[in-house]
Structure 1
Amino acid sequence: MVRISSGELRGTTGESGLHVFRGVPYARADRFAPPEPVEPWAGVRDATRHGPISPQPPVRPESVMGVPEEHEQSEDCLNLTVVTPGTDDRKRPVLVWLHGGAYVTGASSFACYDGQRLAAEGDVVVVGVNYRLGALGYLKLDGVSPGNLGLLDQLAALRWVRDNIAHFGGDPEQVTVFGQSAGAHSIACLLAAPAADGLFRRAVLQSAPMALKPLTPAGAARIGRYFTAALGTDPRTASVAEILQAQQRVIVRAAGPGGLYSVPPFRPAAAADPLPPAASMVRRAREVDVIIGTTSAEMNTFLNGKPGITQLEALPFVGRRGVAAAKAGITRWMFDAPSRRLADALAAAGGRVFTYRFAWHAPASTYGACHCIELPFLLGDRESWAAAPMLAGTEWDEMAQLGRKLRSAWLEFAKTGAPLPEWQRHSPGAAPGMRWVEIGPDLRARRTPVAGVG
């Protein structure tokens, strides 16, 4: 039992002794409206079950990560999960998880994102946040939606952590926000948002697609026109099913012929609260310690096995080598190069920055060290990752040593601002190319030169 600002909660205590509170509301919001504080409740609120997740289509990378369990979907989805070793006054470091999913799918309450291993091994509090997605979270349309509602939800969750986490044994002055893919991209946006100042002390950006810039006002207006045409009715009164159908039509239209430009059209927009017109992610470089990194074969998650790709691989003048080179080039363009540029800029501005590349891959998987490959080493458990194709040919116990190593690095960073001793601070302009800690199949982290990424 825990009493927070809005009322009393009843969670669960597992065999490990960890206390888990699920479906905890951190804000409320009407459709296309910014989040507001939760109304206090009377009596004891049940926090033993997960709350609803944002309405969404089927999860896109299920062919890589495995199919997640079913969750109730609802626009009333602003809830979070807290895992803590004790509801006492220990003031433990806090890790806040922002899930990925291209800004249209995902939920931090999925079992594969469970934070109990981190909480138990590090004596830390882990918080997983659900926020609005797709058109409901990122449509910017004059007179309808201001845009960036998903980012505003994340800010509301971080303010909730600041105000309430001490009741769960956490230290509001020691908050690390960590995320992967769109979650990491969100963190980059939060670094540029003045409204996030003071809400977190450290940040971990895993596989952030940093080539994906916030929508310009003109770009956001164009997506708004696409959505209006696809929906054909008032977005404020349309059903959720109609919203999702129109959202998918916009995604297809924005991707262009053959889906070649398949970047998320529903994403953060510049010059819309909380992002200023000219967002600077380095303005708080001296105040927020950062880890930023990628996997060595990010694009395999999105391109392997796709019909057009297999056809290209069969062409004699392209072949597997040509396709592999193209995938490597896109990985460098979308993930590696802009991530290293951000690390360079943060370090040059006086920030404490650490960079990595995750290179481990399962022996029987065709996906290699793909987008999402590091997640089983940090979050979830054996059961939640058992059906993941990207882990084919690997026993869970075989992953234990590298998992402990990676979790130790994240936990030490959350506590001290520096990962393991071999993780030296990032230095901009190191030659040849960039240098970072490579986490590879030999289960060791080592400094690795990489030419041509800059």
Structure 2
Amino acid sequence: MTGEQSTTHIFQTSFGKVIALKSNGIIKAGSIRYARSERFQKPVAEQPSPSEIIFPDKTPVCPQAISPLVEKMIGPTQIENFDPDESTQYLSIFRPAHFTDQGKLPVVVWIHGGSHEIGCGDLPTSDPSEWVKEQEIMVVTVSYRLGLFGFLGGNDSRPPNLGLFDMIEALKWIKTYISEFGGDPENITLLGQSSGGDAIAHLMISEGVEGLFQRVIIQSAPLGLRHKRQKMSAEFLKKTEVLKDETDVLKMMDEYGKFVPSVIRYGLKAAMPFGVQYGFPPLCKEEESVDKWNAAAEKYDVLIGLNNDETAFYLKTSDALNKYFGKGLGLKIMDKTVEKTTELIYGNPAKIFAENYSKAGGNVYLFRIHSGLENSHVGAPHCIDLPLIFGNESAWKSSVMLKDIPWSYIHENGKKLRALWAEFARSGYISDYSERPEILKIRKISFQ
């Protein structure tokens, strides 16, 4: 946050005295520890603190390998601003500075994406300040364990789904304390993109989440990769056993790439080798998942969808592929491949999810974001929804994904999209009369 000088704001809460920063109409309480953990152990809720809770000098982040593709398409990671921490259970709270405590703000909980392998809750490209100011909502961003630490496992010594357990602990913290920051604990919406959306879909059918949230917004979840992962995960677990006691986490990050499952052997799902695992707490068996979602239909409002050209993010940005498929017949083949893989991984699974949910009596909307620009090489790829939802032009200035898109176009469409998402977060509904951005197609799924 830049502009006016930051001042401190104190929240006197039952969790402790939280020192926040106030700047540009936003109050941010950053990197509050909600739980802690030992390696490969379930998280333990953090207890109230007798001392002041203040911003750390650096943002805690789960140890991870840098993704060259993300660095290129979204922007470089300023690694000097982050501090690797295995026990990375932190959350940050954003709320309007002018809001009075006489009311309670609807709460949106951001679960970041990154293939269950990279990212954190506090990145400049997902700073929700613009959205919070525009719509007078509260946003809580959550960091959790990733990769080897949070989304592999499969036995007693290395249990799976630890990242999901972290999220559940974060939601319990939010439910307990968020009213003391001005949020409404009875109006909580989970928002997730990519693997974050995948995680949210599975939180809907997890044990121990009763009453922790009321709505979900699932963006670009790769639900088509969720099936029959057991054999692949078991192989990956076995091969990484040599790393489980390594004390140097950076060495672990350097080494595990040698053992990533083969796409040739396991198909497209190997492109996301880390993930939630059925048949282990807090999840059911895979064959029970659809019935579990149907049973959840009366509990949660759902807004689910995707970008029209999701896999262009991976395929059309490859120099090697563009050499052969960048023009003429090759480009037609590329376009068809993007279309087919987008539907396989994202589109059809989202449609089936929404239709099943509606048939079970659920309130569900299905959306699709299009490019709306002529001669756009990548169209509306994976992650294009992030600048639309979060804005923050300065954070996206190095993004190759946006290099041919005027920021005014992103802002104009993003402001309308943010208003719709906030409307859903407040009530679970989107009015037929609410203004739509030109890039969005959205409809309520209804089977009556």
TM-score (normalizing by structure 2): 0.88
1:133 to 146, 157, 165: 146
1:286 to 292, 298, 301: 298
Unaligned runs of 5+ in 2: 1-9
2:251 to 242, 245, 254: 242
RMSD of aligned Cα (Å): 2.6
Across the two proteins, how many residue pairs are aligned to each other?
427
Match of 1:100 in 2: 113
Deviations 1:148-198 (A, max 9, x none): 011111111111110010011001100000010000000111111132221
Structure 1 residue identity aligned to 2:257? Q
Deviation at 1:330, TM superposition (A): 0.5
Return closer, same or farther for 1:168/1:216 CA change in 2, 3 Å cut-off. Answer: same
Query: Tell me, what secondary structure is at the counterpart of 2:295?
Result: coil
Match of 1:343 in 2: 354
Deviation at 1:108, TM superposition (A): 1.6
Distance 1:153 1:96 in 2: 14
2:208 to 183, 195, 214: 195
Deviations 1:118-155 (A, max 9, x none): 21122111000011110111121424211101111111
Match of 1:300 in 2: 312
Distance 1:43 1:261 in 2: 46
Distance 2:427 2:149 in 1: 37
Distance 2:24 2:326 in 1: 53
Deviations 1:336-359 (A, max 9, x none): 001000000110011111111100
1:396 to 407, 431, 434: 407
Deviation at 1:273, TM superposition (A): 1.2
Match of 1:62 in 2: 71
Structure 2 residue identity aligned to 1:146? P
Query: Tell me, what secondary structure is at the counterpart of 1:172?
Result: strand
Q: Identity, % of aligned pairs?
A: 28
Unaligned runs of 5+ in 1: 424-436, 450-454
Match of 1:366 in 2: 377
Deviation at 1:83, TM superposition (A): 0.3
Return closer, same or farther for 1:393/1:217 CA change in 2, 3 Å cut-off. Answer: closer
Matched, 1:421 2:432: yes
Return closer, same or farther for 1:50/1:440 CA change in 2, 3 Å cut-off. Answer: farther
Matched, 1:213 2:226: yes
Distance 1:335 1:202 in 2: 20
Match of 2:5 in 1: none
1:20 to 13, 16, 28: 28
Return closer, same or farther for 1:448/1:218 CA change in 2, 3 Å cut-off. Answer: closer
User: What pairs up with 1:46-85 in 2 under 5 angstroms?
Assistant: 46-47=54-55, 51-59=59-67, 60-70=69-79, 71-85=82-96
Return closer, same or farther for 1:79/1:363 CA change in 2, 3 Å cut-off. Answer: farther
Distance 1:50 1:422 in 2: 44
Distance 1:290 1:183 in 2: 15
Contact 2:105 2:182 in 1 (8 A): yes
Distance 2:162 2:414 in 1: 34
Match of 1:432 in 2: none
Query: Tell me, what secondary structure is at the counterpart of 1:145?
Result: coil
1:319 to 317, 330, 349: 330
Deviation at 1:84, TM superposition (A): 1.1
TM-score (normalizing by structure 1): 0.87
Contact 1:365 1:389 in 2 (8 A): no
Return closer, same or farther for 1:35/1:214 CA change in 2, 3 Å cut-off. Answer: farther
Deviation at 1:362, TM superposition (A): 5.8
1:34 to 35, 42, 45: 42
Distance 1:7 1:51 in 2: 20
Distance 1:311 1:259 in 2: 24
Matched, 1:180 2:193: yes
Contact 2:30 2:92 in 1 (8 A): yes
Distance 1:330 1:439 in 2: 26
